[in-house]
Amino acid sequence: MIVVGYTPDQFGGAALEHGVAEAQLRGTSLLVINTSKGDSLADQSFADNAHLQELEGKLAASGVDHEVRQIVGDETVDVILEAMTAPSAELLVIGIRDRTPVGKLLMGSTAQRLLLSCRKPVLAVKPE
């Protein structure tokens, strides 16, 4: 199984694209995870219903066996790392963005924490 940390933006789109390609290449399934802490009324990293329908359409068209999980209230890093403990989890795919060192220090970096903490291979991608 390929696990994709997904956000409804260009970074999540790049992760999804590469995750689908890896699942097709390896002949395995895809788990797409989208999370929100739930502490904001308008969390831009959380996909709305229209976006989820579009996502499901793309995944269905890819022909890859898939599951989409939306989780509210838990820390993104913890949710994704938990999914990666499954014996079938082979690869984590995440989208990354350029951030200044100060930005990482002040805001934290989910991608950085995943790269350093995941015990299995991680593919970090950027949009074209």
pLDDT score of 44: 74
Rounded Cα distance, 99 and 45, in Å: 17
- Evaluate whether 120 touches 94 at the Cβ level (below 8 Å): no
Contacts of 32 (CB under 8 A, 6+ apart): 4, 6, 16, 19, 55, 59, 66, 67, 68, 69
**Around Cβ 58, how many Cβ atoms within 10 Å?**
13
Q: What is the pLDDT of residue 72?
A: 87
Residue 37 domain-assigned?
Answer: no
Q: Is residue 38 part of a domain?
A: no
79 lies in which domain range? 5-32+46-101+115-123
Residue closest to 45 by CA, chosen among 106, 97, 92: 97
Q: Which one-letter DSSP state was computed for residue 3?
A: E
Residue 16 is assigned to a structural domain of this protein: yes
Residue 41 covered by a domain: no
Instruction: Report how many domains make up the chain.
Output: 1
Strand order in the sheet with 91-95: 66-72, 30-36, 2-5, 91-95, 122-125
Distance separating alpha carbons of residues 116 and 30, to the nearest angstrom: 22
Digits of tens for pLDDT over the chain (128 positions)? 999 999 999 999 999 999 999 999 999 999 999 998 776 556 778 888 889 999 999 999 999 999 999 998 788 999 999 999 999 999 999 998 876 665 555 445 888 889 889 999 999 999 98
Q: How many C-beta atoms lie closer than 10 Å to residue 36's C-beta? A: 18
CATH of the domain at 11: 3.40.50.620
